[in-house]
Structure 1
Amino acid sequence: MKRILALIILLFISQMPTASATTPQRLPVEAFASIPDVSWMALSPNGKHIASLIVDSEAEVPHKIVALFNTETGQFHIPLKNNHQRYTILTLNWASNEILLISAMKPSKRFGKRANETVLFKYNIKTGETDNVLTQKALKRFKYVPQYKHQIVDLLTKDPEHILMSVGGFSQRVNEDSVIKVNLNTGKVTTEQYYREHVSKWITDQQHKVRIAIYRDPENTEYRVYEQGEANSDLRLLWKYEAFTEDAVTPLGFDVNPNTLYVKAYHQGYLAIFKVDLTDPKLTKELVYSRIKQDVNGRLLHSKITRQAIGVSVGSDNEYHFWDKSYQQLSSRLKQALPDTQNYLIQLSKNERRYIVFATSATQPGLYLYGDRDANSLEVITTKYAQLTPNVLVKPKAVNYQARDGLTIPSYLSLPKGIEAKKLPTIIFPHGGAQSYTGDSFDYWAQFFANRGYAVLQMNFRGSAGYGHQFTTAGLQGWGKEMQTDVEDGTRYLINEGIADPKRICIAGASYGGYAAMMGAAMTPDLYQCVISFAGVADVEDLVKLSRFYTNHEMTKKIIGDDYNALYERSPIYHADKINVPILLIHGDNDKVVQVSQSRDMYRKLDGLDKKVQYVEIDNGNHYLSNNQHRLMTFKAIDEFLSKNL
């Protein structure tokens, strides 16, 4: 344990700059806007190799490549360099000690329109060969080439030559997947589970049998959970519920006992973990783990040795909640060694003697550490962001304020270092993905703003996830209404507290956050001095109408609404004439979540009204700024805009 603590202390000392910790240190845009130096790590089953995604900084355009490190010899090498203009690598998984699985995304065309599709590669560390998991010969069996070819259902740990994958292409309908068994040596494909009507997800048990089917009819928002004893046998209905009701039951996985299923369901208004005996006719849910006034949204964890369910990947005292004592002990020791970070046991070897920990916090962008339980050692492998160190980052403060109807809005306030928290230039930064949430973890956007001297308020407006059923459903069809006034009330809270300078406030956001930013400037023209929208929704009516061509149309209507006259009234583009402050619009033209037409139309409307508008369109840019150059372009434009207007 002393060795562990010494390593951590030495690492932090070596990263500290010579300037005083209280002196604001303005970092270059690249420090925040570059994609992570390391973004994924996977430990081979025998614990001898660590595969990682690292940035090829020597390339003309920095991008992600795969790297391999031998934990026994210390050798490090690059097994393959991908064509970054064609592929963006997403994840790494070991199928065996020899085969590394690499999922990637690439741009393509579907029905004459630009789209993204995924692919799964296999890399053999002995032969050095890389191939598609689904060969051209195998794909000839499909009715059409599926768009998503990367989804692994089960790695079949006892059968390293095969994996189970979930793919479409056998049914003419989208979102009706079959489960196929793929031989990683020969490429041979056999169908393990045939597609069923409107079943989009399959779950295997710990004996690797396909047992659970998740059904959703695109004509409504009803979900059904079915169980079968064997693949392709008769389905038994377990639960049926409407989306966003307290009857919702989400299967997480099985215990080693094939009749014990763990599920996520509501307990006293908050999501919790239960287990269910499938032989019980009443399907009684036995409470396993809950949190006080917080949802539990973690995934189920299993022992690699016994295959028993041992915990969930979210906890109160530690990052994981284990009900198995041996894992509780390991988690506690990690917390003793790394008390100031959240420590995630992201990988264990097959015998669980070696492991990888990802340690992170609001002020620690990420450390990857390699542990050996036999040697009683824990060593730092690398950092996620080399240019960002704890002493230059800020810790957000949890704050609550009251919305105008009395609802408590949980939020986080980040203040710039070394500056008194009085009448600061301020960024109001509502989160994207309207039903996502803001936490106290590392956020490169918020840290960038704080490093530039701005106070940053991030609020969990009603509808955000994590705060129980009542809070989440309070945001249904609340775009431009209560969800919006929650953001405004947060702005006025900071002004009343004397933290924000009322003459220097900018509202910024991405995706839904971009919508909220534009709508905020339109609804309260005198409250903000500038607006930043990345991939924001300008026309809500158009967003809902466009969803008619996708299987999520009914769900979109339930979340946003389908009164088109009302939706148009709650769209920033309808109120463009009221926006009287400088506005920056940024959008990628290959965005598949929010169409680029949203920002294009908003720009044309504002420009036609002679408003102070700047538009940056990113060639082949997506919704997630996954390209290094795109991220740099975006943040440099934001930096320049804020310097000029705030």
Structure 2
Amino acid sequence: MKRILPLLFMWLCNHAVADTAPQLPVEAFASIPDVSSVQLSPNGKKLASVVRVDQAKLKGTVVSIQDIETGEKSIPLHTDNQKFVILSLQWANDNILLISAKFPANRYGTPTTETRLVKYDLTTKKTSSVIPRSVLDRLNWIPQHQGQIIDLMADDPDNILLSLDGMGENVGEDSVLKVNLAQGKSSYTQNAKKKIISWITDRQHKVRISIYNDDTEYRIYEQAEQKRDSRLLWTFKAFSEDSVWPLGFDADPNILYVRAYHQGFEAIFKVNLTDPKLTKELVYANEDTDVEGNLLYSKLKKKVIGISEGDGEEYTFWEKEYVGLQNGLKAVLPNAHNYITQFSADERRYIVYSTSSTEPGTYYFGDRDEKTLYPIANRYGRLKSELLADTQYLTYEARDKLKIDAYLTVPKGLEAKQLPTIIFPHGGPISYDSNDFDYWAQFFANRGYAVFRMNFRGSAGYGYEFMKAGLKSWGLEMQNDVEDGTRYLIDQGISDPKRICIVGASYGGYAALMGAAMTPDLYRCAVSVAGVTDVAYLVKSSRRFTNYKVVKEQIGDDFDALYDRSPISKADKINIPVLLLHGDKDRVVKVQHSREMYDELKSLKKPVEYIELENGDHYLSNNDNRLATFKALDKFLADNLNPKL
């Protein structure tokens, strides 16, 4: 492998002191990541990654495969991120790379997002679909999602198990298909069952757990042998405190790990399935936050070794060997979160992803035998740590005394006093903000704005009561939390009350427009990127999807009330400049939301600008669309807030 600069030298260079940050090009922040989905082959000899390209004859992203020893590269796949977008990479074995992709489509007049799984054979240098055409021809319909891997079967590397619908009576009732990647042969190892939406295998590759869903009811079943009768383990309603979600098995086929609530917060337990009482033994819990992430399983040690979550820090390992490795990384890469994302099959080589609020993300290749660690790729190559703004954690009280966590990013070299400010509520809304790197926040800060991101009630990670407080609360207490955060900044003297703009994407776009309508004197301007403008229409639009009842449980089903809590019903109250942006191929929030909001504001002669992004999806996956969005933001905010750097 080509050796790069010594690690310590690189670290010192990246952390040179700078009093103020120069204004960087929009492209430095708004381009899609230079590199993502870095994957190490099982033998530790090859690296695959998704790489952004911007050449005269080649634009978009490519799949790149590099031989670590020789440096030889190949590019088996390219996309312009319009017809389809690469989601992830995964090695099935040393010779076959699996590539997951999505693309927009329509089914019977309903806009959908379709997923597919293709394989690249390093020997034949050919790319083809994982699912044979002969399988699809026998299905009752063509499945919307065709890339749901449930078992890579590391000890049987030529075969994988997929979860696939199309054989049952209803959409979403999956079977389990075994596919031979070398020969293309396939067979069903588990037939579809009524209302079973997913399956989980044990470490012996037997289908053991099934998840049943009927409206808002979930049931977890276990079968001692696949295709045999099942027994009910747990039953619960959506958003209930007695939920028990299976995560996976240990090497012992009777030991199942689950996520369930412990003292009001989600935690990790293990259950012995031979125990008639199904006693849940606590394995890992945080004191005042939910435990998220997936199980970390060592195929070499044949045991669960941790969880891919660490209470805002690195992954949590339960084995001393891995804790020692992680501590060594912390010593070499301080002031960052260092995630060991992958090991080779013998666990001697590994990949580390290192990031923080001021570290845009660097991938490292580690070799435990040679005791070396080398940087191999930067996620955002034009952004240097010394030019980025620090983010601080703080809390404030909502009007009902509920504590709200928040993050404040202040432009580098400026004092947090009377600053032009961006209020930036997150999307989801069952999501959350953290002090990890955020390219939106850093872009705004580089332009001279303080950036305030709050985890309003309903945000993920704060326990059952906090999550429950956000149910059916659009435009109500959730919106109050955003407003109260804005007033907190004003009271603290951090924000200039005459120069505050509320900006958001998806649910955040909804919150931005509602802020403009409900408190028109609080904000100078508002920006909605792919935002919801009609909540009633949002819920009704999910009628043809299998999660319709769950959506109504989360958002509500009183359509008159939901419309009244929609920005489009309050357009006449908006008197500040508004910028709307939306992709015309958005399959999460339909483009009609922004189109109709624009028409309504325009008819009322309100100050509004609308930019529709051609072939744009909900996530700004296309580089040109992302750049257009950020350039429009840059001009709009400068025109309305006039920052002084």
Query: Aligning the two structures, in what range does the TM-score lie when normalised by the shorter sequence?
Result: over 0.9
- Write the distance in 2 (CA, Å) between the matches of 1:44 and 1:601: 49
Residue in structure 2 matching 1:511, options 501, 506, 511: 506
Tell me the residue number matched to 1:438: 433
- Write the distance in 2 (CA, Å) between the matches of 1:109 and 1:543: 17
1:5 offset after TM fit, Å?
A: 13
Residue in structure 2 matching 1:54, options 48, 51, 58: 51
Residue in structure 1 matching 2:516, options 494, 497, 521: 521
Residue in structure 2 matching 1:99, options 96, 99, 103: 96
- Write the distance in 2 (CA, Å) between the matches of 1:250 and 1:392: 42
1:551 and 2:546 correspond? yes
Which shifted more, 319-328 or 396-405? 319-328
- Write the distance in 2 (CA, Å) between the matches of 1:339 and 1:14: 14
1:228 offset after TM fit, Å?
A: 0.7
1:273 and 2:268 correspond? yes
Q: Secondary structure at the match of 2:173?
A: coil
Contact 2:169 2:194 in 1 (8 A): no
- Write the distance in 2 (CA, Å) between the matches of 1:190 and 1:24: 59
Tell me the residue number matched to 1:294: 289
Structure 2 vs 1, CA of residues 409 and 643 (structure 1 numbering), >3 Å: closer, same or farther? same
Tell me the residue number matched to 1:612: 607
Residue in structure 1 matching 2:478, options 467, 474, 483: 483
Q: Give deviations 1:165-189, integer Å, cap 9, x for gaps.
A: 1111112412111110001122112
Q: Give deviations 1:413-472, integer Å, cap 9, x for gaps.
A: 000011121110000000000111111111111111111100011000011111111111
Contact 1:304 1:352 in 2 (8 A): no
Which shifted more, 84-93 or 573-582? 84-93
Which shifted more, 250-259 or 304-313? 304-313
1:395 offset after TM fit, Å?
A: 2.1
1:81 and 2:117 correspond? no
Residue in structure 1 matching 2:375, options 380, 387, 395: 380
Q: Equivalent residues in 2 for 1:144-543 (5 A)?
A: 144-218=141-215, 221-316=216-311, 318-543=313-538
- Write the distance in 1 (CA, Å) between the matches of 2:76 and 2:564: 55
Tell me the residue number matched to 1:636: 631
Structure 2 vs 1, CA of residues 191 and 83 (structure 1 numbering), >3 Å: closer, same or farther? farther
Q: Given the two structures, how large is their TM-score scaled by the length of structure 2?
A: 0.97
Tell me the residue number matched to 1:7: 6
Amino acid at match of 2:547: N
- Write the distance in 2 (CA, Å) between the matches of 1:83 and 1:494: 42
1:12 offset after TM fit, Å?
A: 3.6
- Write the distance in 1 (CA, Å) between the matches of 2:145 and 2:542: 20
1:23 and 2:20 correspond? yes
Contact 1:66 1:79 in 2 (8 A): yes
Gaps of 5+ in 2: none
Residue in structure 2 matching 1:69, options 66, 71, 77: 66
CA root-mean-square deviation? 1.6
- Write the distance in 2 (CA, Å) between the matches of 1:636 and 1:82: 23
Contact 2:21 2:388 in 1 (8 A): no
1:125 and 2:122 correspond? yes
Structure 2 vs 1, CA of residues 561 and 81 (structure 1 numbering), >3 Å: closer, same or farther? closer
Contact 1:509 1:536 in 2 (8 A): yes
Structure 2 vs 1, CA of residues 61 and 645 (structure 1 numbering), >3 Å: closer, same or farther? farther
1:229 offset after TM fit, Å?
A: 1.1
Tell me the residue number matched to 1:588: 583
Structure 2 vs 1, CA of residues 461 and 60 (structure 1 numbering), >3 Å: closer, same or farther? farther
- Write the distance in 1 (CA, Å) between the matches of 2:396 and 2:155: 53
- Write the distance in 2 (CA, Å) between the matches of 1:270 and 1:552: 24
Q: Give deviations 1:346-367, integer Å, cap 9, x for gaps.
A: 1111111111111111111111
1:572 and 2:604 correspond? no
1:14 offset after TM fit, Å?
A: 4.7
1:108 offset after TM fit, Å?
A: 2.9
Gaps of 5+ in 1: none
- Write the distance in 2 (CA, Å) between the matches of 1:271 and 1:596: 35
Q: Secondary structure at the match of 2:429?
A: coil
Q: Secondary structure at the match of 1:397?
A: strand
- Write the distance in 2 (CA, Å) between the matches of 1:587 and 1:101: 31
1:481 offset after TM fit, Å?
A: 0.6
Tell me the residue number matched to 2:87: 90
Q: Secondary structure at the match of 1:447?
A: helix
Amino acid at match of 2:50: L
Q: Secondary structure at the match of 2:561?
A: helix
- Write the distance in 1 (CA, Å) between the matches of 2:526 and 2:312: 39
Q: Give deviations 1:29-73, integer Å, cap 9, x for gaps.
A: 101110000011111110000111111222556311011111122
- Write the distance in 2 (CA, Å) between the matches of 1:16 and 1:61: 34
Structure 2 vs 1, CA of residues 483 and 321 (structure 1 numbering), >3 Å: closer, same or farther? same
Q: Give deviations 1:519-577, integer Å, cap 9, x for gaps.
A: 01111110000000011111111112222222221111111111122112111111100
Structure 2 vs 1, CA of residues 562 and 123 (structure 1 numbering), >3 Å: closer, same or farther? same
Q: State percent identity of aligned pairs.
A: 56
1:137 offset after TM fit, Å?
A: 2.2
Amino acid at match of 1:230: E
Structure 2 vs 1, CA of residues 399 and 146 (structure 1 numbering), >3 Å: closer, same or farther? same
Contact 1:272 1:290 in 2 (8 A): yes
- Write the distance in 1 (CA, Å) between the matches of 2:522 and 2:223: 57
Tell me the residue number matched to 2:593: 598
Q: Given the two structures, how large is their TM-score scaled by the length of structure 1?
A: 0.96
Contact 1:61 1:629 in 2 (8 A): no
1:9 offset after TM fit, Å?
A: 3.0
- Write the distance in 1 (CA, Å) between the matches of 2:287 and 2:57: 50
Q: Secondary structure at the match of 1:74?
A: coil
